[in-house]
Amino acid sequence: MRHGGQQRSDRASGSAPGAVPKRVDARTERWRAHRLKVRAEFVDAAFRALGKFGPEVSMGDIAKEAGAAKPKLYRHFEDKTDLYNAIVDRVRDLLWERITAGIDLTHDSARELVRRGADEYMRVVTEHPNVFRFMLHSHFTQQADESERALQSARQSARRAAELFAGLLDDRIDVAGIELVTYSIFGAVASATDWWIGASRAQEQSMPVENFVAYLAESISALAEANARLNGITINADLPLHQAFSAG
């Protein structure tokens, strides 16, 4: 005969009376963790290989840089596009981490936030120029739907940034509006970056990096201010972000 305490326990857990709780397969979890670790190591190797060989890097170059045979690379990535996607995601996360770590959303003025964000972004670009060339002009993505991956990542980042900023801003400024201007900024910055780094590492730098950072900051500010004007909002860029917006 079952005890009342056991019956209550069954009801609380949502399981049928007498059902055996589903156990997590430890071997599956270990394999999943191992696979994520190996994939991350291959992405690390891809960054190094891109630094050595440029955007025309091959899967063989990346496997060699990782100290592994190419079949092992294909055991952890379905194809070239899968690896390309992982590289795009790594860059997105790196940029997000670096930019958010370098700013103070509560106290920095809107102008300073934009300048610091542009500066941190360009630090990453100058550290990994061939990674950005690879993302913009990769031979790993041959089909149109595959080449959309960088845009999808930008959309995700735009939404993430919009939700972050919306929590600090006036209720009249909705997430969709912030997402639109953020996505527009990403597109403008990507195009400008493509011009600045050039298609080849042999190409001379088009503009001193400090001038380019200033250009990006001005472009970002102009897009934000234009969007604000269309919505009847005035931006005082010398105030902290949560105080910078007011009705026009």
Q: How far apart are CA 21 and CA 178, in angstroms?
A: 45
What pLDDT score was predicted for residue 208? 93
Q: Where are the domains positioned within the chain?
A: 26-77, 87-248
* E-state strands within 181-240: 233-235
- Please, which residues bridge with residue 235 across strands? 245
What pLDDT score was predicted for residue 12? 47
Strand, coil or helix: 4: helix
> Contact, 96 vs 157, CB < 8 A?
yes
Average pLDDT of 149-160?
65
Q: How far apart are CA 62 and CA 79, in angstroms?
A: 13
CATH top-level class for 87-248? mainly alpha
Whole-structure pTM value = 0.77
What is the band of 34 on the pLDDT scale with cuts at 50, 70, 90?
confident
Residue 194 has pLDDT above 70, yes or no: yes
Pick the CATH number of 26-77 from 3.10.450, 3.30.420, 1.10.10, 1.10.510: 1.10.10
> Contact, 195 vs 206, CB < 8 A?
yes
What is the band of 146 on the pLDDT scale with cuts at 50, 70, 90?
very low
> Contact, 14 vs 22, CB < 8 A?
no
> Contact, 220 vs 183, CB < 8 A?
no
Q: How far apart are CA 236 and CA 246, in angstroms?
A: 8
